Amino acid sequence: MIRVARDFRIKGNPVSSELFGNGHINTTYKVDCDNGREYIIQKLNTNTFKDPHMLMDNLAAITSHLKKRTDNKREVLSLVKAESGASHVIDEDGGFWRAFEFVTDSVCLQRAETAEDFYESAVAFGRFQNLLIDFPTHTLGETIPDFHDTVKRYAAFKQAVEQDVCGRAAGAQREIEFVLEREDFASIFVDYIASGQVPLRVTHNDAKLNNVLFDKNTRKGLCVIDLDTVMPGVVMNDFGDAIRFGASTAAEDEKDLDKVEMSLELFEAFVKGFLHTCGSSLTQLEIDLLPTGAKMMTLECGMRFLGDYISGDTYFNIHYETQNLDRFRTHLKLVSDMESKWEAMHEIVNKECR
Ligand code: ADP
Ligand code: GN1
Ligand code: MG
């Protein structure tokens, strides 16, 4: 790992490295240098991201666009070039690596400690949306095709259940039923996009709380990270992903489902931060569909976890055998909870958009 770090133009001598963060896809290390400088060095998951060169081109274009629109260096990810001048390093095993400057004095939260934290993350995602509003969408490559096409996600899910390669489907019948009963819901955004009623914007597509860095001292939302899935998409999905993860009262893989709830207090905090920051650039239909985004992303992500469990855990990193099933179960609970709080969610959105 340190050897890979030396292939990047980092300032100082790398002396130690540690696995870092809680990402489910890439492998992330923090590297410390003898002069106190810190870097993030990541091995990109090329099973997930099949065209890493295109992804790095996207990343360079997005970060350079963002940098032109802000004076604060810590608000935007800074890529570090390889000694070769390229944006990446390929190791002897063919691993694809890239490096970022560590955003100094930042913290990453797995859970909002207060509603204010969550509000701040909404402001960060809202600002991100605003800053990219004039980004030339057509120049971005699709790093994962059909990433949030929930209809196609259903097709893949049903195929996984049918193939049942690990024989796990029988033990997850109740969970599978829960997903299948909601299949009609899946086409809502796909249909709105097809009819042109909802615009495709440049969206993050993985807008969860741990993809925002906070300023350690002020606790303000600072920098949106994990830009690998920035692609054309619908804004309701960014809102929805943020709610799925951050408005939950428990961890994504909490086993005690009594602890799992979609907190209306946290929901409201996010709605406020998001709409106050980027609400004026959204259409009324997009705003009206924000609660639908929350349910859509929770259902879709849950289904992806369950599908991965049934397929033998080939996509999301896991740390124990039934982790993807546990992740699904929290999502089942959250979807049910959103269904019972549906009107209250709409009332909050209506109140804040006036
Ligand atoms: P993944 O795609 O696997 O989620 P991320 O890009 O989100 O990978 O990085 C994983 C974690 O590493 C983040 O949640 C965050 O804690 C940390 N991280 C990533 N980039 C930086 C950075 N430039 N500065 C500080 N921390 C970072
Ligand atoms: C993955 O990489 P990470 O951990 O930020 C996944 C998201 C899921 C999320 C669930 C490229 O995000 O789509 O919503 O896990 N990223 C990819 O926590 O599939
Ligand atoms: Mg991440």
The reply to whether ligand 1 has any atom less than 6 angstroms from the CB of 234 is no
Strand partners, 79: 100
With CA atoms as reference, report the closest residue to 247 among 231, 226, 261, 227.
261
The reply to whether ligand 1 has any atom less than 6 angstroms from the CB of 243 is no
Query: What secondary structure letter does DSSP report for 87?
Result: S
What CA–CA distance (Å, rounded) separates 75 from 156? Answer: 37
Query: Relative to the alpha carbon of 242, which ligand is closest?
Result: 2
How many A from CA of 25 to the centre of ligand 2? 7
The reply to whether ligand 2 has any atom less than 6 angstroms from the CB of 226 is yes
Residue range(s) defining the domain that contains residue 316? 108-353
Residues 56, 112, single domain; the answer is no
What CA–CA distance (Å, rounded) separates 97 from 262? Answer: 37
The reply to whether ligand 1 has any atom less than 6 angstroms from the CB of 316 is no
With CA atoms as reference, report the closest residue to 118 among 207, 204, 20.
207
What CA–CA distance (Å, rounded) separates 303 from 252? Answer: 13
How many A from CA of 44 to the centre of ligand 1? 12
The reply to whether ligand 2 has any atom less than 6 angstroms from the CB of 206 is yes
| Cβ pair 202, 230 in contact under 8 A | yes
pLDDT score for 100: 98
Radius of gyration of the chain (CA): 20
Residues 283, 303, single domain; the answer is yes
Residues 227, 80, single domain; the answer is no
- Which of 71, 103, 135 terminates a domain? The answer is 103
CATH number for the domain that contains residue 159 = 3.90.1200.10
Name the residue of 20, 22, 24 to mutate for ligand 2: max ligand atoms within 8 A of Cβ: 24
Q: Give me the amino acid identity at 209.
A: L
Other Cβ atoms within 10 Å of 58 Cβ, number: 21
Name the residue of 208, 314, 334 to mutate for ligand 2: max ligand atoms within 8 A of Cβ: 208
* Rounded (10°) angle between helices 150-163 and 290-310: 20
The reply to whether ligand 1 has any atom less than 6 angstroms from the CB of 108 is yes
- Residue nearest atom 4 in ligand 1 by C-alpha distance: 23
- Residue nearest atom 15 in ligand 2 by C-alpha distance: 24
The reply to whether ligand 1 has any atom less than 6 angstroms from the CB of 26 is yes
Residues 68, 137, single domain; the answer is no
Atom of ligand 1 minimally distant from the CA of 227: 6
What CA–CA distance (Å, rounded) separates 280 from 265? Answer: 23
What CA–CA distance (Å, rounded) separates 200 from 107? Answer: 31
The alpha carbon of 110 is separated from its chain's Cα centroid by a whole number of angstroms, namely 12
- Which of 103, 118, 149 terminates a domain? The answer is 103
* Rounded (10°) angle between helices 323-340 and 342-353: 70
pTM: 0.96
Residues 63, 151, single domain; the answer is no
User: Distance between terminal CA atoms of the chain?
Assistant: 52
CATH number for the domain that contains residue 19 = 3.30.200.20
How many A from CA of 224 to the centre of ligand 1? 10
Q: Where are the alpha helices (DSSP H) in the chain?
A: 2-6, 52-68, 115-131, 150-163, 173-180, 188-194, 235-246, 264-278, 284-288, 290-310, 323-340, 342-353
Residues 113, 56, single domain; the answer is no
Tally the domains of the chain: 2
Residues 239, 333, single domain; the answer is yes
* 3-class DSSP assignment, residue 15: strand
Q: What does the H/E/C string look like for 222-280? A: EEECCHHHCEEECHHHHHHHHHHHHCECCCCCCCCHHHCCECHHHHHHHHHHHHHHHHH
Name the residue of 22, 40, 109 to mutate for ligand 1: max ligand atoms within 8 A of Cβ: 40
Tell me the average confidence (pLDDT) per consecutive run of 10 residues in the chain, 354 residues long.
93 95 94 97 97 97 96 94 96 96 96 97 97 94 97 98 98 98 98 97 97 97 97 97 98 98 98 97 97 98 98 97 98 98 98 86
* Rounded (10°) angle between helices 290-310 and 173-180: 140
The reply to whether ligand 1 has any atom less than 6 angstroms from the CB of 106 is yes
Residues 20, 146, single domain; the answer is no
pLDDT score for 164: 98
What CA–CA distance (Å, rounded) separates 50 from 181? Answer: 32
The reply to whether ligand 2 has any atom less than 6 angstroms from the CB of 229 is yes
The reply to whether ligand 2 has any atom less than 6 angstroms from the CB of 204 is no
- Residue nearest atom 1 in ligand 2 by C-alpha distance: 24
Strand 221-224's sheet: what is its strand order?
106-108, 212-215, 221-224
Residues 276, 169, single domain; the answer is yes
Residues 83, 151, single domain; the answer is no
Residues 240, 308, single domain; the answer is yes
- Which of 76, 103, 130 terminates a domain? The answer is 103
Residues 178, 73, single domain; the answer is no
Q: How far is CA 89 from CA 33, 98, 130, in A?
A: 19, 6, 32
How many A from CA of 192 to the centre of ligand 1? 33
How many A from CA of 201 to the centre of ligand 2? 20
With CA atoms as reference, report the closest residue to 241 among 188, 196, 308, 299.
299
